[in-house]
Structure formats: C-alpha cells, structure tokens
Amino acid sequence: MKGSVVLIIKPRTIPDELILLRLIRARNKVSEKTENQIVSLEKGYDGEKMFDQRMINLSLDCLIINDLLFETSNTHYQIDSLLITQPKIHIFEVKNYEGDYVLDGDSMRILSSGKEIKNPLLQLNRSVSLFRQFLQQQRLNFSVEGHLVFIHPEFYLYNAPPELPIIFPTQLDRFLKQLNTQSSKLIGKHQGLANKLLASHIKDSPYSLLPEYSYDEMEKGILCGRCGEGFMLSVDHLHYLTCEKCNFAENKETAILRSIEEFSLLFPNKRITTNAIYDWCKVINSKKTIRKLLQTNFKHVRFGNSSYFE
C-alpha cells in the first residue's frame, strides 16, 4: 500500500536479565543451571530477532511495540510483540523451538525425550485474556487477536488442530501478506493506545532470576566490547586497548565508559568513585584518566569529606 507506514514504537533490546547473566558468566564461574538459563534466553532472543526481520515486510499502516510487561488484576504477563492496525490489535508469542514436539490436550512434550514443557498456547491465551481486561479497565474498545509463532525452520508439532492460533515457520510469510491486503489507516486513538501501553509497561521484570554473586568473586578488568568474553589488554603509549581473545581494538575512553555502565548494572548499590572504577577496570594505570572521564560524563556529588559520581 503506497504511503503506508510501519512505525516501531518500542524497538527490541537485549533483555536486562541476559545482559547481566552474560556479565556474570564472563567474570565468574556459573552453575550448569545458570548456563542453561543463558542458552535459553539467547535462543529466545535470537528467535524474536528473526521474527522482527520478517515483520519488516509489512506494508500497511501499523504500529509495532516489542517486549512489553504489564500487570493486570495483580498478575504479571509479557508480550513479545504487539501490532496495532486499524482493524485490530495482534499479540504475538514467539517461540524458537527446534525439533519435533507433540501436542496432547493442554500439554506439550518433546518427541525424542518425552519431556513435558510449558504449553505456550496456554501462555498466549492467558496474555490475551489479561490484555483484554486491561483494555476494558482503560475503557478502550479494540478487537484483540493472539498468535503463537514458531519461528525456527526445523520445528514440527504433531497433533496440532488447524483451528489453533498457531503460525508455523512456513506460514508466516502468507500471514504477513494477508495482513498487507487489509485496509489500515491509523488515527489519533491508535497513537493514544500506543502511548498508554508504553506508560503502563513495567521496566523491572519480576521474572528475572539471577544467581548470587559478589564483587570480590568477580574477575576485574574491562570486558571486550565485541566478543564480550575476553578481557582488554593495554598497549603501551597508545590510546586503545586490545582483546586478549578476539584481538578487537577499542578506544580506551569508550572501553572505560562501557565498563562503568557494567559496574552500575551489576552493583547498583555501589557508589561510582575514581578508586572503585580504577579497581574495577584494573588495566588502566592512571587514576587521572578515570577521574577526568567521570567528571566529563557524570554528575559529581559531594558527600561530607568524600564524593562520588552519578
């Protein structure tokens, strides 16, 4: 449709839980349980990015909002992707499952092992129901439709009745083409809905499960900005650092600022001081360099005889 606009109101970002788990794993040994949690989050995020790439093919007036977390009727629920069109709101639950699965009533299991997993259809139905309640509470009148999207091309589900709200990998392009045939002209109430959803979004997820960790247990140093696994090494008399693992070269100031951000994420209750960041970065041999960066990029707060930055 000529002149149509696909507007991404809230782009997808790496989940905070995954960012923190990556940082913890890079600086400290983690359990098998935590490693499996990271693998699961990585795969889920990869699947959502694959879905986003397909959504770019839409050519009707619509608004896309990703990664929403709401609380309705004292219950939290997540929405992977929400599409606002003129006819209706589409809620997408995206799963990056791989291999053969079996649907048996309300239960779903992996065919090869027989292991039962949480049925994402129940999760989708719950989210759609709670979202409809949210709209009713806000006195907003919109039609809502939910879809469970299996994005991995090597996925198959046995015993799935055709009437279920499931979009299989080979069906997604046809589904998007069908959406594109619909007439959709957004007006003020649609943007108003998007604003209301963004305002109702909860930033801190109650679902985040982090292993216990402490500052003393963490390996100090500046993690690589590219591979995120190796530590940066200082090159004498040069203004850049290089990764011990992938040889990525990075400007010292950029690397230090990223390391400060990671310090704040991991230890939100610790104050940012010159000495703290000097100890955290380890590889920077000049406190003067760190102090200058802090004074330039952060607010200096005096507290009695001491001071810190925020």
- Kindly report, residue by residue over 24-72, the tens digit of the pLDDT: 999 999 999 999 999 999 999 999 999 999 999 899 999 999 999 999 9
Return the pLDDT at 226: 95
DSSP character at residue 27: H
CA distance 274 to 290: 6
105 CB-contact burial (10 Å; exposed 0-12 / middle 13-18 / buried 19+): exposed
Return the pLDDT at 60: 93
Amino acid identity at 62: C
The number of beta carbons lying within 10 Å of the beta carbon of residue 129 is 16
Whether 79 contacts 68, CB under 8 Å? yes
Place 111 in a pLDDT band, splitting at 50, 70 and 90: very high
CB-side neighbour CA atoms (13 Å) of 113: 7
Which of these, 220, 221, 256, lies nearest to 240 by C-alpha position?
Answer: 256
Return the pLDDT at 238: 74
Find the mean pLDDT for residues 175-182.
94
Amino acid identity at 162: P
CA distance 173 to 64: 17
> Which residues, in sequence order, are CB contacts of 276 under 8 Å at separation 6+?
263, 270
CA distance 12 to 81: 9
CA distance 197 to 83: 12
| % of the chain beyond a pLDDT of 90 | 90
3-state secondary structure of 255: helix
The per-residue pLDDT for range 245-298, each reduced to its tens digit, is 999 999 999 999 999 999 999 999 999 999 999 999 999 988 999 999 999 999
220 CB-contact burial (10 Å; exposed 0-12 / middle 13-18 / buried 19+): middle
For the cut 60, the answer to whether the pLDDT of residue 2 exceeds it is no
Return the pLDDT at 90: 98
For the cut 70, the answer to whether the pLDDT of residue 96 exceeds it is yes
DSSP character at residue 272: B
- 243-246: long-range pairs with CB below 8 Å, 24+: none
Place 212 in a pLDDT band, splitting at 50, 70 and 90: very high
Whether 48 contacts 32, CB under 8 Å? no
| Residue 90 C-alpha from the chain's centroid | 20
> Which residues, in sequence order, are CB contacts of 118 under 8 Å at separation 6+?
108
| Residue 124 C-alpha from the chain's centroid | 18
Question: What's the pTM value of the predicted model, to 2 decimals?
Answer: 0.90
Whether 109 contacts 157, CB under 8 Å? no
For the cut 70, the answer to whether the pLDDT of residue 1 exceeds it is no
For the cut 80, the answer to whether the pLDDT of residue 224 exceeds it is yes
Whether 228 contacts 26, CB under 8 Å? yes
CA distance 265 to 227: 19
- Alpha helices per DSSP H over 62-201: 120-137, 172-180, 188-200
Angle at the Cα of 293 from the Cα atoms of 291 and 294, rounded to 5 degrees: 65
Return the pLDDT at 3: 55
Return the pLDDT at 303: 82
The DSSP bridge partners found for residue 249 are 242
Find the mean pLDDT for residues 127-149.
97
Determine the angle formed by the axes of helices 274-281 and 287-297, rounding to 10 degrees.
Answer: 120
Tokens found for residue 142: 């919109």
| % of the chain beyond a pLDDT of 70 | 98
